[in-house]
Structure 1
């Protein structure tokens, strides 16, 4: 329920009463405006949640709450109390299918859900046979109140129809909470909403989001992602605290006015991580806390970046290099500064985590952000390749998430050309500014930092061929390795799969590859297109240099008269 890539529209709720005093089903009438206007939201004198009258009360209150939310005329405390009551009513709904149909009609009133989800709801297509017995038991115990447990035989399976309806009840309440979150917490400008409609695309235009948000892409994108994955509700993140945290993170990214390592880059990496989580199905392999840590790590991974490299800090003997003993200087600072920020009560989005959850969260974020240090790049890829070459590889979740974040951090050459070219120019501007500082300090130029001797096209071709392409290849192999079993275990897997073209495989491997799981790889085409454009540019640049050199050599020496 927590893992929708986009929130579907709320399904209609129809509650039917059955009792000996009524010959046919009677649905709850839609309340009139007069009824809603005169409604008292006090929760102290409500009927018991397992009575028929409770359903009428709950339905009426839900409609009233939604109307008041749209008007912005309801307090958070009143909203919370009424939603809790409605949730308890939904949990109390139960169909006692252990009795014969005739007995059910003659027994005490029983509440029945007739329709609680849209026709396209994922649960609409679930077949009873697809649910293992242990899962049935868990669903029944989690989402239903088993009023007839004592009468049920110990070896009898819970009726799937009851369980499915109960799950839909949970989805309904969850959607209400999500609507409350998106309505009551933070309002999004219409231009931002328009841009975020393409959030699930590989080549998402973060520059358009920057413009639409008035220079605050981290604030809106970070909030949207944490809300979309249900992290705000799951980990009880206070809305004001989250907004304060994102605002401060945004400020930290803008502290040094970097051309590249700024809030735009942070938003771009966070969105790319979202693509990997959502569009490959990776989110189904991770726990809620692991998803939470991955999203936060993406948002803070370059927090307070100085616009200079680790090598510059070490060579110049900066205070940060001294603090972290020349090792992963910037990465250590990003993590430390982010967690120091979260110690501020107004920015502590982790305040409701348990001690164990906090330790796991902190360890995951540290591992992921440290893995973005490029000095670990080749060893990281080598270790993952070695692991995947085993007969039965077991991938550690922390290492998998770390590789994902690292690949997303260097992914701009794998995006659409117009986006990649813009990122490249920004990064070169930042490199050249560092080169100017190195010249002033009498330090040797770092690679690509000498503005007078850097071959842009050639450098990008090398970066794509030796860094980005191998990284994305290993990342894809890892994802297919860990998600393959999830895909094969369920025909209704939410992962994005593509069949293998058997014509491209040998006869020997055909049987094995025919069932192999594959993810979509939109970066492959982008890398190919971008490399082709850079090679054309490199040829033009080489021709221009040769022509210039020829002209310089053809100029006759001047003689004195």
Structure 2
């Protein structure tokens, strides 16, 4: 039974992703009626199939309605629910013995709650106001040729802020991990300040936005996103956004040879990379920038492990070994 439910959830990923994209396109006014109709019909057909198979796991299990037992509900309440939620079912004359089942009424209420949640999720997307020029730039965010310099100009030099917010919205990470929108905006603005700290001509907020968009492109066009958990997607986008935070514009070897404070602190090991992830997490220690405040203890730990691993892996001294490991893995027979 558990395997069956897992399969159903996998089947739901595609229509869910389509619906999220539709919401964004509707928000931007960039969709035609035909595409809207086709995508909604597709999503509806999948939801109907799930309903028929009695896998109603789309609804949160903690809903109090899930625990309602028919015998525990007074007859007056049942009658009221029947008259309230089944009014349109009675277009034909119902025989006395054909009273609506209480379970069907519960499902109707649950469906209403689900629709309300969908509305709240779409409403949350309005947390950051997009200038029209930014909207125009982000239409190409799925493309390899995406122009990050145009985004930075259109956003008033806030390319990283709009890129991170756009991707957190597209992947529904704000809702999934209950990330306070104000915290997210403040956190990314702090990242932008840190990326500008040393006036680095390359490792700056534009570079961070570019790498973050590239990670999105790879996840989207290779199909890897379908094999990743939501926590892993969050880790990839977050790691990309912070991977060069407060970069000094010098190399690790420079820090080691000059015996800088960072080199002493990190014992000459991936000095800059250790600083990037450590300093970014230090920002999140502030209550008004703690985007991970609502993660469970296990999710927080797993996310941190992933982010540290990914950011430290950007140390170029280890890239040849990474390539060697990848080649050896690809040459191994499948089995």
Q: CA deviation at 1:312?
A: 1.5
Counterpart selection for 1:139 from 49, 56, 65: 56
Rounded to whole Å, the distance in 1 between the matches of 2:227 and 2:119 is 26
Counterpart selection for 2:262 from 320, 333, 336: 320
1:3 and 2:13 equivalent?
no
Rounded to whole Å, the distance in 2 between the matches of 1:308 and 1:207 is 23
Q: Taking structure 1 as the reference length, what is the TM-score of the superposition? A: 0.44
Q: CA 1:285/1:148 → structure 2, altered by over 3 Å: closer, same or farther? A: same
User: Which ranges in structure 1 are unaligned for 5 or more consecutive residues?
Assistant: 11-116, 151-164, 394-561
Rounded to whole Å, the distance in 2 between the matches of 1:3 and 1:174 is 16
Deviations, residues 18-38 of structure 1 (Å, cap 9, x unaligned): xxxxxxxxxxxxxxxxxxxxx
Task: Look at both structures and tell me which one has the larger radius of gyration over its CA atoms.
Answer: 1
1:302 and 2:240 equivalent?
no
Give the structure with the larger helix fraction. 2
Q: CA deviation at 1:119?
A: 3.4
Say if 1:5 and 1:228, in contact at 8 Å, map to a contact too: no
Aligned to 1:181: 124
**Partner SS, residue 245 of structure 2:** coil
Q: CA deviation at 1:335?
A: 0.7
Say if 1:178 and 1:227, in contact at 8 Å, map to a contact too: no
Counterpart selection for 1:283 from 209, 225, 229: 225
- Residue correspondence of structure 1 range 91-240 to structure 2 within 5 A: 118-121=37-40, 122-124=42-44, 126=46, 136-139=53-56, 142=59, 172-173=115-116, 175-183=118-126, 185-240=127-182
Rounded to whole Å, the distance in 2 between the matches of 1:248 and 1:382 is 37
Say if 1:143 and 1:170, in contact at 8 Å, map to a contact too: no
Rounded to whole Å, the distance in 2 between the matches of 1:345 and 1:188 is 25
1:386 and 2:303 equivalent?
no
Q: CA deviation at 1:221?
A: 0.9
Deviations, residues 194-247 of structure 1 (Å, cap 9, x unaligned): 111111111110000010011111111111111111111111111111111000
Equivalenced residue count is 271
Say if 1:219 and 1:250, in contact at 8 Å, map to a contact too: yes
- Residue correspondence of structure 1 range 299-378 to structure 2 within 5 A: 299-378=241-320
Bigger relative CO (Cα 8 Å, ≥ 6 apart): 2
Q: CA deviation at 1:249?
A: 0.4
Deviations, residues 308-351 of structure 1 (Å, cap 9, x unaligned): 11121112221111111111010000010011111111110000
Say if 2:19 and 2:43, in contact at 8 Å, map to a contact too: no
Q: CA deviation at 1:147?
A: 11
**Partner SS, residue 139 of structure 1:** coil
User: Which ranges in structure 2 are unaligned for 5 or more consecutive residues?
Assistant: 1-12, 25-35, 71-107
Q: CA 1:169/1:274 → structure 2, altered by over 3 Å: closer, same or farther? A: farther
Q: CA 1:309/1:368 → structure 2, altered by over 3 Å: closer, same or farther? A: same
